[in-house]
A and B are shown apart, each in its own frame.
Chain A
């Protein structure tokens, strides 16, 4: 479990399935998040703004991650935003659009 966190809103509230956990790990790795355990992230919590507090650069980096890990190409960064609402939303997006 993550320790010493200020904003606890992203601590686990729901149970992750295997893909959600894999996506959470991909996020932590791609963004070099420290002191954040992938299994501890609430799959329904917002990723941007509040929650993990990711920003626009992170969104772009996640687009790169989706291409690398799943072969998904997102041309328009706006499509990415809806898919990035939470770990759960991102996993659903991956399930639908993955190539690899």
Chain B
């Protein structure tokens, strides 16, 4: 059916490196100096991004999106989920507040959890609906869920569903009292209406649809997004339970294309 919603690309980045529809590289650690290697052309402004944005950009680069020649992709949205948001930027900026030379404007601009949306939108000219969700450990799943719903509703024809968290031991050093876990990863999925994908020569990796949960469905265990990555890479099916906070007895059924 032309209304089918499909996933046509994926990307993932963490301390081990990055991988996705458009390639893979290994052993990057958390040293941000290495990450610009993820981009085909030089990216001198990469250094300005805060940790979550860097990760999000790498994951998104692997989706293979290109900006249009003119204008923006008005029909491609961004749905971001982040658990720790701009914690690192908040701590970094706060430390500059009382410097004799004044606070850092560049750091301040990243003290919003939604910064990654802006950076990804600017790079690939994504002009559609966008929202940043914070939902604890289900932030990424919530962003995926709402991204699928967005495309289903027709408000967008495609949506980049992003999850990113950039918290390092460096963050822990700046945030006394916070049990800063080592959360250093980003995940991206390109969700689109199948007709839209077909028109752009993007082959579906899996079809997704939100359905009522039933006794015969087996909700997947473990981290929902890593299960989804396994589906789009390995051709297996899954059913991801709705984020708990949405209080719905529904699942996202993933049917891998074989």
Contacts and interface: CB of A to CB of B under 8 A. Distances in A.
On whether A and B touch (CB less than 8 Å), the answer reads: yes
Interface of A: 2-6, 31-36, 52-53, 57-58, 60-61, 64-65, 67-68
B105 A64 contact: yes
Contacts of A61: 104-106
Interface in B97-117: 99-106, 109
A57 B104 CA distance: 10
B101 A67 contact: yes
B41 interface: yes
Contacts of B46: 34
Looking at A5, A34, A60, the one whose CB has the most chain B CB atoms below 10 A away is: A34
A2 to B, nearest CB: 8
B106 A34 contact: no
Contact of B109 (A57, A65, A68): A57
B44 A34 contact: yes
Looking at A31, A32, A67, the one whose CB has the most chain B CB atoms below 10 A away is: A32
B48 interface: yes
B42 interface: yes
A8 B109 CA distance: 28
Contacts of A31: 47-48, 106
Contacts of A58: 106
A94 B103 CA distance: 21
A57 B106 contact: yes
Nearest to B96: A64
25 contacts: A2-B42, A4-B41, A6-B42, A32-B106, A33-B47, A34-B33, A34-B36, A35-B36, A35-B42, A35-B44, A36-B44, A52-B44, A53-B45, A57-B105, A57-B106, A58-B106, A60-B105, A61-B106, A64-B103, A64-B105, A65-B101, A67-B100, A67-B101, A68-B99, A68-B101
Interface string B84-100: 00000000000000011
A42 to B, nearest CB: 15
Contact of B43 (A2, A34, A67, A68): A34
Contacts of B42: 2-6, 35
A61 B105 CA distance: 6
A74 to B, nearest CB: 11
B102 A32 contact: no
Contacts of B105: 57, 60-61, 64
B102 A64 contact: yes
Contacts of B47: 31-34
A6 B99 CA distance: 36
Nearest to B41: A6
Contacts of A36: 44
Contacts of A65: 101
B132 to A, nearest CB: 20
A35 B104 CA distance: 22
A53 B41 CA distance: 15
A68 B100 CA distance: 8
B102 A67 contact: yes
